[in-house]
């Protein structure tokens, strides 16, 4: 099976074109993350996995056009074949190792999605053309936005980090639009703050093209995103881990550089100035 024809991608295709409620998006996200196991889960087990009620799973199946969950599960067994397990079972790992293994699976899933590079390449073109380029990330996503903005500023002439919420962020978006901005990059991670959704709605009203890196294609920010790039977060520890979103941000940086003709010259200029100033210890 090719990467683009993986169980996760087949599940993703099943959900496309359906208007799902937040609860149903949560179920869909859980199914994508456990794509190989889902065809063999009962409705009760899937409900526990997604943290929803069993009737919610039934309503979800009906929303997808099936008579009920048994019909959905039968369909999944036909279109999402089981994959052989790699290595030993999860029981061989302690809870810290399990968290790392889960992140490895998230990165593998990201690699499968990147088998089609066109969405990231399109995002790179959109972001490179925006002068200035506002980069939004609030609360848990603030560090992702900061990391992207830090490196992007080395090759892009005007990057504006938006990492504090409140009414001022709307003012800063308006100022960016007046200065010529055509796009906004958003990092959105759970739990999704209402102010992120409100800010993206304002950005859309202001005429910006919104590119979003989120934990799922079914995240609440999807409604206000022109291009959403999903990268799952790990949930095995007390606080979510975001290795895949961070890596996707770096991939976006590469795509951005590819569409900035003077990116290499800017990097070389920075390196020369950094050496002259003794910025870094060798």
| Mean pLDDT confidence for 203-218 | 95
At 61 the pLDDT is: 92
From 79, 103, 125, give the residue that closes a domain.
Answer: 79
**pLDDT above 70 for 87:** no
User: Are 133 and 71 found together in one domain?
Assistant: no
At 6 the pLDDT is: 67
Instruction: Judge whether 49 lies within some domain.
Output: yes
Beta bridge mates, 213:
187, 229
Instruction: Judge whether 73 lies within some domain.
Output: yes
Residue 136: closest CA among 162, 172, 166: 162
User: Are 124 and 248 found together in one domain?
Assistant: yes
The CATH number given to whatever domain includes residue 27 is 1.10.10.10
For the segment 169-180, what is each residue's pLDDT rounded down to a tens digit? Answer: 999 999 999 999
User: Are 39 and 162 found together in one domain?
Assistant: no
| Mean pLDDT confidence for 13-42 | 82
pTM (two decimals): 0.73
User: Are 72 and 197 found together in one domain?
Assistant: no
User: Are 122 and 68 found together in one domain?
Assistant: no
From 79, 107, 129, give the residue that closes a domain.
Answer: 79
Contact 128, 156 (CB under 8 A): yes
The residue ranking higher by pLDDT, 37 or 210, is 210
At 167 the pLDDT is: 85
**Considering just the CA atoms, what is the radius of gyration of the chain in Å?**
21
Task: Report the chain's mean pLDDT, rounded to a whole number.
Answer: 88
User: Are 129 and 259 found together in one domain?
Assistant: yes
Instruction: Judge whether 106 lies within some domain.
Output: no
Lowest mean pLDDT among 93-97, 119-123, 240-244: 93-97
Instruction: Judge whether 12 lies within some domain.
Output: yes
The CATH number given to whatever domain includes residue 153 is 3.40.50.10490
At 133 the pLDDT is: 98
> Could you tell me what percent of the chain has a pLDDT over 90?
56
Domain range spanning residue 47? 3-79
Domain count, the chain: 2
CA–CA distance, 6 with 16 (Å, rounded to integer): 16
Contact 203, 173 (CB under 8 A): yes
At 128 the pLDDT is: 97
For the segment 123-143, what is each residue's pLDDT rounded down to a tens digit? Answer: 999 999 999 999 999 999 999
At 83 the pLDDT is: 52
At 93 the pLDDT is: 73
Instruction: Judge whether 87 lies within some domain.
Output: no
Model confidence band, residue 88 (pLDDT cutoffs 50, 70, 90): very low
For the segment 32-44, what is each residue's pLDDT rounded down to a tens digit? Answer: 878 888 888 888 8
| Mean pLDDT confidence for 148-157 | 96
How far, CA to CA in Å, does 189 sit from each of 156, 240, 265? Answer: 25, 9, 34
At 151 the pLDDT is: 96
User: Are 180 and 55 found together in one domain?
Assistant: no
Other Cβ atoms less than 10 A from the Cβ of 75: the count is 16
Give me 200's structure tokens: 């993206």
Where does the chain show beta strands of DSSP type E?
133-137, 159-162, 183-188, 209-214, 227-230
User: Are 254 and 144 found together in one domain?
Assistant: yes
DSSP state of 87: S
At 49 the pLDDT is: 86
User: Are 64 and 148 found together in one domain?
Assistant: no
């Amino acid at each position: 099976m090719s990467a683009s024809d993986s169980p996760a991608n087949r599940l993703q295709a099943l959900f496309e074109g359906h208007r799902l409620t937040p609860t149903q998006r949560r179920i869909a996200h859980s199914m994508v993350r456990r794509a190989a196991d889902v065809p063999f889960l009962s409705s009760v087990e899937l409900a526990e996995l997604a943290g929803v009620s069993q009737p919610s799973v039934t309503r979800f199946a009906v929303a997808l056009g099936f008579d009920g969950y048994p019909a959905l599960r039968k369909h999944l067994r036909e279109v999402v074949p089981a994959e052989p397990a790699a290595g030993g079972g999860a029981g061989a790992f302690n809870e810290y190792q399990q968290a790392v293994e889960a992140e490895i699976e998230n990165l593998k899933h990201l690699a499968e999605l990147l088998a089609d590079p066109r969405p990231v390449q399109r995002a790179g073109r959109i972001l490179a053309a925006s002068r200035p380029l506002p980069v939004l990330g609030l609360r848990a996503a603030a560090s992702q936005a900061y990391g992207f903005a830090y490196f992007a500023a080395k090759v892009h002439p005007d990057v504006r980090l938006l990492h504090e919420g409140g009414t001022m962020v709307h003012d800063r978006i308006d100022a960016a639009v007046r200065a010529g901005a055509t796009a906004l990059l958003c990092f959105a991670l759970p739990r999704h703050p209402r102010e992120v959704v409100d800010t993206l709605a304002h950005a859309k009203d202001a005429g910006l093209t919104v590119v979003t890196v989120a934990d799922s294609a079914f995240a609440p920010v999807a409604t206000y995103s022109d291009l959403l790039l999903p990268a799952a977060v790990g949930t095995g520890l007390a606080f979510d881990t975001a290795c895949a979103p961070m890596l996707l941000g770096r991939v976006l940086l590469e795509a951005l550089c590819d569409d900035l003709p003077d990116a290499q010259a800017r990097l070389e200029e920075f390196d020369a100035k950094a050496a002259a100033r003794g910025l870094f210890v060798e």
